[in-house]
Structure 1
Amino acid sequence: MRMRRCFILSLLFWGLLQPVFSQSISSVTNGLQKMPGYLTLYWDAKKGKMFLEIDKLDTEILFHTALSSGIGSNDIGLDRGKISAGKIIKFQRSGPRILMVQQNYDYRATSSDKMEKLAVEQSFAQSVLWGFDVAGEEGNKVLVDATSFYLRDGYDAAATIARARQGSFRLDPSRCAFYLPYTKNFPENTEVEVTLTLTGEQAGAYLREVVPTPGAITFREHYSFIKLPDAGYEPRAFDPRAGINPVEFFDYSSPFSTPITTRYIRRHRLKKKDPSAAVSEPVKPIVYYMDPGAPEPIRSALMDGIGWWNQAFEAAGYKNAFQVKVLPDTADPMDIRYNLVQWVHRSTRGWSYGYSVSDPRTGEIIKGKVTLGSLRVRQDYLIASGLVGEYTSDEPSKEAEQMALARLRQLGAHETGHTLGLPHNYASTVNNRASVMDYPHPLVRIMGPKKLDLSDAYATGIGEWDKIAINYAYREFRSKEEEKKGLKKIIDDYIDKGFLFLTDQDGRPEGSASPVTHLWDNGKNAVDELNRVMEIRKIALDNFSAKKIPVGAPIATLQEVLVPLYLFHRYQLEAASKVVGGVSYTYAVRGDKQKVMEYVPGDEQRRALDAVLNTIKPEVLALPSLIINLLPPRPYGYDENSREVFHGRTGLTFDPLSPPEAAAGMALRFLLQHERAARLIGNHAINASLPDFSEVVDKIMAATWKAPARKGYEGEIQRVVNVAVLDKLIALAANADAASQVRAVAGLKLRELRVWLESQTSPDEAERALDVFAANQIRQFEENPVKVVVTPPAKEPDGAPIGSFDAYSCDW
């Protein structure tokens, strides 16, 4: 009797469960809005739910998250259009559950041996990104309720805000919903967008600038499931000298006598219609579509610059392989089949990006996406008008306008280059502006004692280096053997012609060693160009007047024009500083003709040091009295805390010592950088003809503290510079990241300075006051470094993007 009762209860229990497992998709979705496409969606408007129909179980799919509407602050970095790294996922079923499993393609076996592949797969973890309950099924299709999967912070925006120290925020589910206008389906991709709201407290300054109510941050996140390319694509081997971005993985099927890491380049799929022809039209061209939201004449300038890339593809053997068009009304920018150039607005000027959606398995680029910040063109115009323009009426300067548009052409070409697979080439300046993948500083010509010319500010057309890189990535070969020989020849030929490729790791850090790899520099020789730039700076400051702003603009807004002129040398200063302790090198491989490395000759290093120290002379840093008298306090309604102006210590009035302090601080920060100091010590130990760190510090002391005392305004500037030297040396001596000998030398030079200061008996009270103050600072540092109170240095206003910081452009 008991067994019979249990059996009946079991039947009843199974009967209760049966509808859950046997419901058809059509019965669950009856009355719901159907969105057919790659993965069919069903929208339940009454309950606010989104169902996902999965008919591709155990199929590899590319998954992306993105920000379709951003926060609007460059400093936080949550910009419209940013895309996360792509993940290859599979939907796998286990009973009533569907697991979304991320495949681990960092470790694989590329052989055809199934057991060898399985051994690698089982040796490394995968990641289950989500679990769904089956809501319905029909044949090989299953339906899942994906509402909670979508209504979450998948981009991890809250963590990004926290890392930027802008407060602690969390998702408020009651203020989140699906955003249907951008929830769409296409044959090869499924797109879902949601409106999310993060709530929190203690919002930082950057957030308060851009969010109406800082305690509630509402933005939109986007989710994409994308069809992966078919097997017709042939990966191409990566070469560090070729200037193409890599995708890399551990290949455990490689022979143990060869490297385990395999690298492919990232590129679009491109094939000739006629493979035997030297020049052929492609089977399918690469087409980029311009955001129609970009206004004229900006849109035309961008399309012109982006279109330059066709020159590179022609050099690689293609006709009309690269095209740029305005996105038509019939096309949707969310469709994965359209490469997109997007025009983005922010509250502050900021970076532009070149991203691409690519296949992590092979490096094949599926979609290029360029994001261009709209404020940068205004900064370029501001710089140009400060250099050459004057407002004689309300009409803008035509010369400044042309320079700003010329920069936009470069910008469009540069960011598109990233989406074609190219990284930065910061060494192209030595080859006469050979690459749009460099960061171009405006090239200003001196035409006379008081005249500057901007007609050649930016190069026109694609660079010779860019043709080399595209040739390596996209030239078609008839066989693997021909490809191997052909790619080698491309690199051998460019080496013979003297071209050079070095990128972010070599040019971006302040302590980097290459004397030719810099951001925003010009000229073949960094020292010569710094000397020339200082002449341009002097002419620009001598020409400064109220005519640099339109009639009717507050006079105080001249400060925004002054900053890029006064600091016009900032990037070339950094370039020349890198010559000190510099080491020339290449990405040489065994068997090529490149010189591996050599020290910059001692004479050139000393010449660079002299040129840098010339920039902090009081007479160079002093502002003309005409300019000082033109700068009143900020008027009502204009932000006195603007990041685009100098900030001093005189309250509302303009501080004439703040710009010299900021400029001197830059030069000293570069020269007394701890890695450069360590390199000076090590290089001198190997080659005594090279300057030692002690010699560099002694020259700095001779040019500042121990130079003849100045009077008046220049005397106060000299004292400001001297304090900057003192503070930088104290910071270096206390820097835990610095080499011990660097700290030892810095400490010794501080002691020598203290002894010298204590011997001084200047008749000038201001000089005596500073001598006593500095000696006390050093003594206190020697006794207890932690208790030394250093006045925070005046900081130079934001520089990059000078029109673009471009960087950290990504290719995923």
Structure 2
Amino acid sequence: MIKKLTLMSCLVLFLFATDSTAQRKKKDKKGSTPVEMPEAKKPDLKKEPKPYKKVIDTTAISQKGLIEVHKVGDKYLFEIADTLIGKEIIAITRYSKTPAGGGIFGGEEVNRQVIKFEKGLNHNILVRSVTYIIMTPDEDKPITQAVRNSSSDPIIGNYDILAYKKSSNGKENTGYVIDMNTAFDADVQTFSLSPMNKQLLKIQAFQKDRSFIQSIKTFPINTEIRTVKTFATTPRQISITPTPRIGTDLPAGLDAGVVTFEFNTSLLLLPQKPMKKRAFDKRVGYFANKYDVFSEDSHKSDKEVFAVRWRLEPKNEEDALKLKNGELIEPKKPIVYYIDPATPEKWRGYIKQGIDDWQEAFEFAGWKNAIRGEYWPENDENMSLEDARFSVLRYFAADIQNAYGPNVHDPRTGEILESHIGWYHNIMSLLRDWYLIQTGAVDPKARNKKFDDQLMGELIRFVSSHEVGHTLGLRHNMGASFATPVEKLRDKDFQKANGHTSSIMDYARFNYVAQPEDGVTDLFPRIGDYDKWAIKWGYSYFQDANTEVDEKSILNDMTKEAYKNPRLWFGTETNPYDPRFQTEDLGDNAMKASEYGIKNLKRILPNLLEWSKESGEDYDELNGLYNSLTGQFRRYMGHVTKNVGGIYESPKTYDMEGDKYEVVPAIIQNEAVTFLNDQLFKTPKWLLDQNILSKIRPENGVEAIKSIQDGTLTSLLSGDRLVRLLETSSQNNANYSVDKLMSDLKKGIFSEVRSNAPIDIYRRNLQKLFVTKLAEAMSTEKSNFANFNGRRINLTETDIPSIARGQLNELKTQLKGAAAVATDRLTKFHLNDLVARIENAMKPK
């Protein structure tokens, strides 16, 4: 026993003596016996990569492609080729399946980022996210370093190299095997939901134990990762209305406390030879991309803005020569859109025709068979609807009345790589309402609760063409409809030859101007003159243009020539003060077009009951159609109103004649106010069809009429419009002015005051509204601001309060005189009340 203790004591002493750095001595507070304190544990050394065959053994199931994928056990290992290091890859994540009720649908885009693989310092591979904000053309100049110093790309992943793949001679590394499972079966933002989406959907913590990689497939230029991800949801707060709020609460989350999504992430290699950029031109309506450019030869940074479009190129030099000589050729790679197999069969042909209709436009650019629609092939395991190699029109089982046409493009050049058009089922309901309300007076086929398949199919074809136009890079051309004179909208021969607008990219909808006696049957939008010109601008191939500058010069000459024809003009969708650029309007004169439109509404309204009836059903359908009709009337008022204080903005360059900005002529502005006085402020009692109102609502329409009038008056007397009128009349007294506007409105709204006629409830409401609006305009509150041309303007420091005060003073005098002679009891009360309101508004606070 003693011998064993002695040996153990020796062993302990030996261990302490040979590891003297593993401990240190420390005295207690009294300076007595030292206390032994162990040193912090050293980290484990980084694991060294193993031999390739030890990691990718005989059990591995391998796929070759952009990224070689090996399934070993339950893990997917990525083999990154050395040639892929530093190459830019666009990662596009889409929903494959979504919880119901959130307003999101399988096939829609979730996230899009460019990434690249990079070698780390110690047997590791980094993944960076690449953002294009600033660039330099001078890669071999010192300024390149300054650009790099100001644009560091974030590291979104760091992965140990598990094994190196060696070249045949065993000297060079040709591939790096890494485990990226944690990038896809976890909640990495690049391949998952953004924080904003999570907030909107009330999503909280990621549930790792209920999330996994479903499959990975790899192809020559892309790798497709299908994942399932589960998230906890935010508990619903106690409410007296516990019904789920669609688009805010996910019903599955309310039931289970969690929601599960399926995602598809496409890793798509960006083109190794970038497409030549085409400089953006404001005179042609293309979507654009941009970044700041720093060059050693420039005195300031420049913004490089370039159009977003597909790459169309000849197959070979022989075809290029044919194209140059004016012969149509087929492109090396045509634009193909697949139709979702979930689309009802009876609509597929119409959607395909809407795509194929663009072939004629591409022929203007020299291409034949450049674009086509195709039906999705059945049972092809190498194709997926979310695969970024394929453009697809996705059909959503949703009650949303809409469709949309996005695209995914190379941020370096604007080259469109693919598109997934979104098509919601209830777009058909919207199309039915539009067509019935706008053309029911002239087209007997529109006078039904349910349209026949041929009519609905043609409506679907029109929407298909419009959305495909967006995916070709085309923006809305809201000025196209202005190129058609109003009377030509009633000309059946002109309509047959040209249609009612020069662009299907306008929001022109259907020909509501044509009257029953005109015999016009061409009522649909179609691909028009502007669309063909825009495709020619975006997709012509200039073999002899060696640089983007050369190409820009050629395009500028083409554009100047095209602008001699107003039907080829582009009108932006973002201009707030040019009355030529509006949604849902027709013709070159909103007053004339709207007058014709109202005539048709008066014909349609009495028939709504008959056209919507169905035995055993309530009046919801009638209510919806009536609301659509009054909504159409409101649009007409808005179209007219935009002329007041309007300023034409025509895209111009230095080498074009004429001014960019021109004031809408006073005669047109005066015509607009006269129209509003006649059609709206003189009570439109024709809207108050009691045979309809008595079946859909308890009131008689008093407040409904006031609401429409209030909206238009508010718009007419808004601060930004009044400021524009001050600006445009300051240099030319002949221009329409704030004082003239208020006087013209006052004359129409208070016509009974001059004639001493009784004032009914509708006009009493309107007159109170007008006095309130002028009192607000007279306000000297410091918070009374408006915006114009990017400036925030304090209205109290303009002439607007002065003019409004003068108008109210004049009106007060007139009202006092009218009240003195009024014989109708309510009219007298009303006039005296208005006088009191004006006097109260004028009292200093």
Q: TM-score range by the shorter chain?
A: 0.7 to 0.9
- Matching residue within 350, 353, 371 for 1:322: 371
Q: Which amino acid aligns with 1:458?
A: F
- Matching residue within 207, 211, 220 for 1:187: 220
The corresponding residue for 1:380 is 431
Aligned residues: CA RMSD: 4.1
The corresponding residue for 2:675 is 611
Q: Does 1:431 align with 2:483?
A: yes
Q: Cα distance 1:592–1:394, how it changes in 2: closer, same or farther (>3 A)?
A: closer
Structure 2 residue matching 1:267: 3-state secondary structure? coil
Deviations 1:136-181 (CA, angstroms, capped at 9, x unpaired) = 232331413443555327365552475xxx6854234268523627
The corresponding residue for 2:593 is 529
Structure 2 residue matching 1:544: 3-state secondary structure? helix
Q: Does 1:281 align with 2:330?
A: yes
Q: Which amino acid aligns with 2:431?
A: D
CA contact (8 A) 2:286 2:473 kept: yes
Structure 1 residue matching 2:384: 3-state secondary structure? coil
CA contact (8 A) 1:272 1:281 kept: yes
The corresponding residue for 2:162 is 136
Structure 2 residue matching 1:355: 3-state secondary structure? coil
Q: Which amino acid aligns with 1:141?
A: Y
Q: Cα distance 1:226–1:716, how it changes in 2: closer, same or farther (>3 A)?
A: same
CA contact (8 A) 2:202 2:249 kept: no
Structure 2 residue matching 1:591: 3-state secondary structure? coil
Q: CA deviation at 1:8?
A: 12
The corresponding residue for 1:456 is 522
Structure 2 residue matching 1:567: 3-state secondary structure? helix
- Matching residue within 85, 103, 120 for 1:57: 85
Q: Cα distance 1:223–1:728, how it changes in 2: closer, same or farther (>3 A)?
A: farther
CA contact (8 A) 1:585 1:598 kept: yes
> Aligned partners of 1:50, 1:779: CA distance in 2, in Å?
80
Q: CA deviation at 1:328?
A: 1.3
- Matching residue within 393, 396, 405 for 1:354: 405
CA contact (8 A) 1:628 1:656 kept: no
Deviations 1:27-70 (CA, angstroms, capped at 9, x unpaired) = 38996876654335567886xx7655444333222223444445
Structure 1 residue matching 2:502: 3-state secondary structure? coil
Which 10-residue stretch deviates more, 53-62 or 387-396? Answer: 387-396
Q: Which amino acid aligns with 1:503?
A: T
Q: Say how many residue pairs are matched.
A: 747
The corresponding residue for 2:557 is 489
> Aligned partners of 1:661, 1:188: CA distance in 2, in Å?
61
Higher RCO (C-alpha 8 Å, min separation 6): 1
Deviations 1:291-332 (CA, angstroms, capped at 9, x unpaired) = 122214322222111111111111111111111111212232
> Aligned partners of 1:689, 1:244: CA distance in 2, in Å?
37
Q: Does 1:620 align with 2:648?
A: no
Q: Which amino acid aligns with 1:496?
A: K
Q: CA deviation at 1:283?
A: 1.9
Q: CA deviation at 1:704?
A: 2.8
Q: Which amino acid aligns with 1:423?
A: R
Map 1:760-775; keep pairs closer than 5 Å.
760=819, 764=824, 766-767=826-827
- Matching residue within 619, 626, 638 for 1:562: 626
CA contact (8 A) 1:584 1:600 kept: yes
Which 10-residue stretch deviates more, 296-305 or 614-623? Answer: 614-623
CA contact (8 A) 2:476 2:573 kept: yes
CA contact (8 A) 2:578 2:643 kept: yes
Q: Cα distance 1:473–1:324, how it changes in 2: closer, same or farther (>3 A)?
A: same
Deviations 1:224-272 (CA, angstroms, capped at 9, x unpaired) = 3210112163222222223222222222226326872222222111112
The corresponding residue for 2:120 is 93
The corresponding residue for 1:270 is 312
CA contact (8 A) 2:285 2:474 kept: yes
CA contact (8 A) 1:541 1:566 kept: no
Q: CA deviation at 1:418?
A: 1.6
The corresponding residue for 1:173 is 207
Map 1:545-624; keep pairs closer than 5 Å.
545-593=609-657, 595-624=659-688
The corresponding residue for 1:642 is none
CA contact (8 A) 2:85 2:116 kept: no
> Aligned partners of 2:156, 2:148: CA distance in 1, in Å?
20
The corresponding residue for 1:696 is 741
- Matching residue within 372, 381, 395 for 1:343: 395
Q: Cα distance 1:446–1:98, how it changes in 2: closer, same or farther (>3 A)?
A: same
CA contact (8 A) 2:91 2:268 kept: yes
- Matching residue within 557, 578, 600 for 1:514: 578
The corresponding residue for 2:805 is 748
CA contact (8 A) 1:427 1:438 kept: yes
CA contact (8 A) 2:289 2:306 kept: yes
The corresponding residue for 2:196 is 159
Q: CA deviation at 1:26?
A: 5.6
CA contact (8 A) 2:469 2:505 kept: yes
CA contact (8 A) 1:37 1:190 kept: yes
Structure 1 residue matching 2:524: 3-state secondary structure? coil
Q: Does 1:17 align with 2:45?
A: yes
Q: Which amino acid aligns with 2:411?
A: P
> Aligned partners of 2:609, 2:442: CA distance in 1, in Å?
9
The corresponding residue for 2:133 is 106
> Aligned partners of 1:711, 1:373: CA distance in 2, in Å?
56
> Aligned partners of 2:156, 2:290: CA distance in 1, in Å?
26
**Sequence identity of aligned pairs in percent?**
21
TM-score, normalisation: structure 2: 0.78
> Aligned partners of 1:298, 1:142: CA distance in 2, in Å?
47
Q: Which amino acid aligns with 1:689?
A: A
Q: CA deviation at 1:425?
A: 1.1
Q: Does 1:718 align with 2:744?
A: no
Q: CA deviation at 1:115?
A: 4.0
CA contact (8 A) 1:243 1:422 kept: yes
Structure 2 residue matching 1:560: 3-state secondary structure? helix
Structure 2 residue matching 1:697: 3-state secondary structure? helix
Q: Does 1:656 align with 2:701?
A: yes
Q: Which amino acid aligns with 1:369?
A: H
> Aligned partners of 1:187, 1:750: CA distance in 2, in Å?
74
Q: Which amino acid aligns with 1:62?
A: I
Q: Cα distance 1:492–1:111, how it changes in 2: closer, same or farther (>3 A)?
A: same
CA contact (8 A) 1:72 1:345 kept: no
Q: Which amino acid aligns with 1:358?
A: H
Q: Cα distance 1:550–1:446, how it changes in 2: closer, same or farther (>3 A)?
A: farther
Structure 1 residue matching 2:394: 3-state secondary structure? strand
Structure 2 residue matching 1:275: 3-state secondary structure? helix
Structure 2 residue matching 1:469: 3-state secondary structure? helix
The corresponding residue for 2:538 is 473
TM-score, normalisation: structure 1: 0.81
Larger Rg: 2
Which 10-residue stretch deviates more, 766-775 or 57-66? Answer: 766-775
CA contact (8 A) 1:399 1:454 kept: no
> Aligned partners of 2:454, 2:704: CA distance in 1, in Å?
29
Q: Cα distance 1:674–1:693, how it changes in 2: closer, same or farther (>3 A)?
A: same
> Aligned partners of 1:473, 1:413: CA distance in 2, in Å?
17
Which 10-residue stretch deviates more, 513-522 or 84-93? Answer: 84-93
> Aligned partners of 2:692, 2:44: CA distance in 1, in Å?
85
**Unaligned stretches of 5+ in structure 2?**
1-13, 24-40, 166-174, 238-243, 485-500, 787-792
Structure 2 residue matching 1:537: 3-state secondary structure? helix
> Aligned partners of 2:667, 2:123: CA distance in 1, in Å?
75
Structure 2 residue matching 1:264: 3-state secondary structure? strand
